[in-house]
């Protein structure tokens, strides 16, 4: 070996222990700048990994720590006994024994015993004692106590007091300050702005109505919601067509506009479909402006103009209207816009 190489090696062997001692002196016994490994306990912190707090953690499969203060990344799971601050990212799951503050991203689930603050993104579920910020999950967000912020889930959101909830199927909460938007159903003690076909709000309003429109389609409709917004779901029958039995179904959203005392205006956007289950299809989309007056504790009468767009199969007997603002004859379908009416009575509770 050349003399210069020998001298270089001697210098390195002398410097490395000195650098190591400086590094150890710069950090406490329980804090590590780096934690790198395969899976517990095959890592730089070894068997005592659960006793150390780390600024940066990187594991091929799974890592275990006491606290994470800046960023932790693993292929499958991050297991933190106490707090995780900053970014915690895993391919499968993040398990946090106390609180999280920052960003948690997991392919399957983020599970935090106490408060999860910041943003949580999971392929399946976010589960925490309480929350603050934004939670996004492919299936469900479940908060045991309060959620200060927004929950977005493919199927279910659940919490006590919350800001806003958006789900593909159902939301469950106690008091909702913002919007509750669901594909089918909302449950709450207090929610002024629920948007779903079915809304069961304790301090809200529910009603069952009987109505008739310009096509002599009678509907039995269930309306449910909060003090402002409500959902509409109904079934019915067309009495104008005496050649066959034509059934109807409708769904939509509405808003109460208080005017004075027992008088208000209900504004609704509704989809209505008629069919005899044999010949063609009939679809009507309408905007309803319905002044309403409540008499007694439970009864309300209403009625008003509607603006309607219809589209139905041609030559199938669905020509219930003959005067249109606009119309178009296609090769298979007929389209038209016209002014109609809707009126009825409902039992409110």
> For the segment 110-134, what is each residue's pLDDT rounded down to a tens digit?
999 999 999 999 999 999 999 999 9
- Name, in order, each residue with C-beta under 8 angstroms of 237's C-beta and a sequence gap of 6 or more: 217, 218, 245, 246, 247, 248
Instruction: Average the pLDDT over 205-215 and give the result.
Output: 98
pLDDT at 12 over 70: no
Helix (H, G, I), strand (E, B) or coil at 72: strand
What is the per-residue pLDDT for 242?
87
Nearest to 287 by CA among 229, 226, 342: 342
User: What pLDDT is attached to residue 29?
Assistant: 52
Asked if residue 26 has pLDDT above 60, the reply is no
Residues near 48 by beta carbon (within 8 Å), at least 6 away in sequence: none
pLDDT given for residue 3 in this prediction: 52
Q: Averaged over 6-18, what is the pLDDT? A: 37
pLDDT at 5: 45
Mean pLDDT in the chain? 92
DSSP type of residue 9? H
pLDDT at 10 over 60: no
DSSP letter string, 156-217: EEE-SSEEEEEESSEEE-SEEEEEEEESSEEEESEEEEEESSEEEETTSEEEEEEEEETT-E
Domains of the chain, start order? 28-201 (no CATH), 205-348 (2.40.160)
Q: How many Å from the N-terminal Cα to the C-terminal Cα in the chain? A: 96
Q: Which two tokens stand for residue 249?
A: 């179904």
Q: What are phi and psi of 219, to 5 degrees?
A: -130, 140
């Amino acid at each position: 070996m050349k003399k210069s190489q020998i001298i270089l090696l001697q210098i390195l062997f002398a410097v490395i222990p000195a650098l190591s001692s400086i590094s150890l002196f710069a950090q406490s016994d329980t804090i590590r700048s780096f934690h790198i490994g395969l899976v517990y306990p095959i890592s730089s912190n070894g068997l005592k990994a659960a006793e150390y707090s780390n600024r940066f953690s990187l594991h091929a499969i799974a890592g275990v720590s006491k606290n994470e203060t800046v960023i932790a990344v693993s292929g499958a799971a991050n297991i933190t006994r106490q707090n995780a601050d900053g970014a915690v990212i895993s391919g499968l799951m993040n398990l946090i024994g106390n609180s999280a503050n920052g960003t948690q991203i997991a392919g399957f689930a983020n599970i935090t015993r106490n408060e999860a603050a910041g943003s949580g993104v999971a392929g399946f579920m976010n589960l925490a004692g309480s929350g603050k910020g934004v939670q996004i999950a492919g299936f469900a967000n479940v908060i045991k106590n309060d959620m200060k912020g927004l929950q977005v889930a493919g199927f279910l959101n659940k919490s006590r007091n919350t800001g806003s909830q958006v789900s593909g199927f159902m939301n469950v909460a106690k008091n909702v300050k913002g919007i509750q938007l669901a594909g089918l159903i909302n449950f709450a003690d207090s929610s002024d702005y629920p948007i779903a076909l079915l809304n069961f709000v304790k301090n809200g309003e529910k009603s069952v109505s009987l109505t008739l429109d310009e096509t002599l389609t009678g509907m039995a409709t269930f309306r449910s919601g909060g003090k402002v917004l409500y959902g509409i779901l109904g079934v019915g029958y067309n009495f104008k067509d005496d050649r066959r039995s034509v059934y109807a179904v409708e769904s939509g959203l509405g808003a109460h506009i208080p005017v004075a005392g027992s008088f208000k205006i209900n504004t609704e956007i509704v989809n209505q479909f008629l069919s005899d289950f044999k010949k063609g299809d009939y679809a009507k989309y309408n905007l309803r402006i319905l002044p309403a007056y409540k008499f007694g504790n439970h009864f309300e009468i209403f009625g008003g103009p509607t603006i309607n767009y219809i589209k139905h199969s041609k030559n199938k007997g669905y020509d219930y209207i003959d005067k249109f603002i606009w119309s178009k004859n296609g090769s298979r379908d007929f389209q038209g816009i016209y002014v109609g009416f809707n009126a009825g009575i409902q039992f409110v509770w």
